[in-house]
Amino acid sequence: MRRPCCAKEGLNRGAWSAEEDEILTYYIKSHGEGQWRDLPQRAGLKRCGKSCRLRWVNYLRPYIKRGNICEEEEELILRMHKLLGNRWALIAARLPGRTDNEIKNYWNTNLRKRVRDRDRQKFGMQTDNESGQGRLRIANSIVSGEAHRVIRTKAVRCTKVLFQPQPLEKEQSHAMLSDVPLTDSGNPLSSSHYPNDKNIDFLVDFGIDDLLAPDIDLLMSSYSMVHADKGIINEHKDVTHVNFPAEESPCAPMGCARRFVVGGEHFDLNGEIDFNALSSLLGEGCDDEIFAY
């Protein structure tokens, strides 16, 4: 039987006071993160451990950016959401200083409605205003990113993928896809497995996630270029290689560790795959076909 993360009685709830923030920040800076269950007691906070973690992660942690999501970030969110669905933590991981909660809130309050209206225009449906609906709380399958089906895929073994270290032009993005994927046995795939092959075997053998990682790298690199121009960020400029150490990637068919390195930082890619996004990525129209395996 799972015990609750903390005793609920006598604990503070709701908004955090400045004093609580100070105590939590001081404690974590001197003792480090982790041990959230016991942290409140040790720090002298009348809060649930989960609440402490959430407060730290979403608000108190250093280098958190708040508000003013710029156009480039917004574009990145839209594209990532199209690729990954509601995987807020994954999306936030690609937006330095942003938290999953902020991205989620931003999507729910700004982007979702906008994209939904766009989709409805596209499919000739009513807008919210036209139908007289108010604030939507329940999940709506027509909501963007979900208007087309999102499929959970099985990953395949992939032990190592290397990218050329030279700087990439945007036009070269799709060329990244052809950077020596490996088969289960570790051998390079034949040219028949490359993206312009419509054969479904391409998806099975190549590994759908392998397609997405480069695309996300592209997103990051293009995003970084824009921001580097503005002097905002530059830490993601050098997308140099993708590496899947065999010992870290047992890569059973159900779960391949999808890890890539951007500017020295490691990212894991675990996500639902949007095949429509994939089709646009590949420049192939597969709207009418759903591949599941």
- Radius of gyration for the chain, computed over Cα atoms and rounded to the nearest angstrom: 22
> If binding is defined by CB under 7 A, does position 152 make contact with DNA?
no
> If binding is defined by CB under 7 A, does position 244 make contact with DNA?
no
> If binding is defined by CB under 7 A, does position 65 make contact with DNA?
no
> If binding is defined by CB under 7 A, does position 79 make contact with DNA?
no
> If binding is defined by CB under 7 A, does position 5 make contact with DNA?
yes
Query: CB 138: neighbour CB atoms within 10 A?
Result: 4
Q: Rank residues 73 and 163 by Cβ distance to DNA and give the closer one.
A: 73
- Dihedral of alpha carbons 256, 262, 266, 272, sign: negative
What is the Cα–Cα distance from 238 to 177, expressed in whole angstroms? 17
Among 65, 78, 97, 101, binds DNA (CB under 7 A): 101
DSSP 177: G
> If binding is defined by CB under 7 A, does position 32 make contact with DNA?
no
Among 35, 41, 172, 234, binds DNA (CB under 7 A): 35
Q: Rank residues 152 and 169 by Cβ distance to DNA and give the closer one.
A: 152
Query: CB 208: neighbour CB atoms within 10 A?
Result: 20
Piece of 29-37, 151-159, 222-230, 282-290 that binds DNA (CB under 7 A): 29-37
Among 73, 86, 176, 220, binds DNA (CB under 7 A): 86
Among 43, 81, 98, 106, binds DNA (CB under 7 A): 106
What is the Cα–Cα distance from 122 to 125, expressed in whole angstroms? 8
Strands (E) across the chain are located at 150-151, 259-262, 265-268, 273-274
What tokens were used for 76?
Answer: 């990145």
What is the Cα–Cα distance from 63 to 108, expressed in whole angstroms? 24
Give the binding site for DNA (CB under 7 A).
Answer: 1-3, 5, 12-16, 33-38, 47-51, 53-55, 57-59, 66-67, 86-90, 100-102, 104-106, 108-110, 134-135, 137-139, 255
